[in-house]
Amino acid sequence: MEDGVTRHPNRQLLRRLDRAKRFQDDRYRLRLTHLTLGKLLDVSVRTVQNWESGKTRIPHSAFKLVRLLASGKHLDGPAWKGFHVRGDTLISPEGHTFPAADLAWWSLLFRQAEAFRTLSRQKRQAERAHATAGSVAGACASPEPGELVAVAKSLLKQVRSAPSSLPGRKTSSEVPQAGGRWQAPRTEPGARVPVASCGPQDPTKAAHHPGTRGGWGGLSLTPEDRPKSATPRRKGVCK
């Protein structure tokens, strides 16, 4: 009997100390101080300290409540299935954490997520429209190589077949004949033929004059525009 009596108090003390240690661990997990836990359980700070030191026995209701809060599985309803609370943090089934500071802005968080979803959708639509417009414009603006060659040949043919109107370029009527002699340009009936001088001129010089060969475009020059090498106009009365 004496051995049984002596073993009983020690066993109760060890059990009380173990219970006090788990109670303290739950308080740490909840991140509560002696003061906040005392307000939660409606007891004094000294009582909480005695519970954790093992001096006094912890009531089962207080121990069970703190244990339940520390487990984070007290969320009721099927919507909270898989969620649990650890301290001031809500943990989702995927493992994402939501601190209490963020939960205070819960409505703003949802509005931000909706705004981001809208902006992302508009960005994707704009990118698809830009890609479609770019592909259509590229198809219209890039001709085939065969088309470019055909256009180039057509332009070259037009340039070769068109009569030249540039000054100093000889036409077919001004090309030297087979005999090596120059032929004067043809004039239309009734057209005025420019006369270089009133006196007689050498036919050879007249044929080789730059004005008749087309050297200056086949036009008669005024005295101011004639070069110094041109034949000067003879003074006197024409006979």
pLDDT digits (tens, 9 = 90+) for 125-178: 888 888 887 676 665 555 566 666 777 777 777 767 765 554 555 555 554 554
Q: Of 80-94, 109-123, 134-148, which gets the smallest average pLDDT?
A: 134-148
Q: Is residue 127 part of a domain?
A: no
pLDDT tens per residue across span 192-222: 555 545 455 555 555 455 555 544 544 555 5
Assigned domain for 232 exists: no
Give pLDDT, residue 13: 83
Kindly list the strands in the beta sheet with 97-99, ordered across the sheet, starting from the edge strand earlier in the chain: 84-86, 89-91, 97-99
Query: What's the token pair of residue 200?
Result: 């007689």
Angle between the N-to-C axes of helices 60-71 and 2-30, in degrees from 0 to 180, rounded to the nearest 10: 40
Look up the CATH number of the domain holding residue 13: 1.10.260
Q: How far apart are the first and last CA of the chain?
A: 178
**Residue 63, in any domain of the structure:** yes
38 falls within a domain: yes
Whole-number pLDDT of residue 48: 92
Cα–Cα distance, 75 to 11 (Å, whole number): 36
Q: Where does residue 105 rank: exposed (0-12), middle (13-18), buried (19+ CB within 10 A)?
A: exposed
Average pLDDT, the chain: 71
Local structure of residue 78 (DSSP, 8 states): G
- Tell me which residue range forms the domain holding 10: 1-71
> What ranges in the chain are assigned the alpha helix state H?
2-30, 34-41, 45-53, 60-71, 100-103, 106-141, 145-161, 203-207, 210-213
What domain count does the chain have? 1
The pLDDT assigned to 239 comes to 47
Contact 176, 189 (CB under 8 A): no
Q: Is residue 18 part of a domain?
A: yes
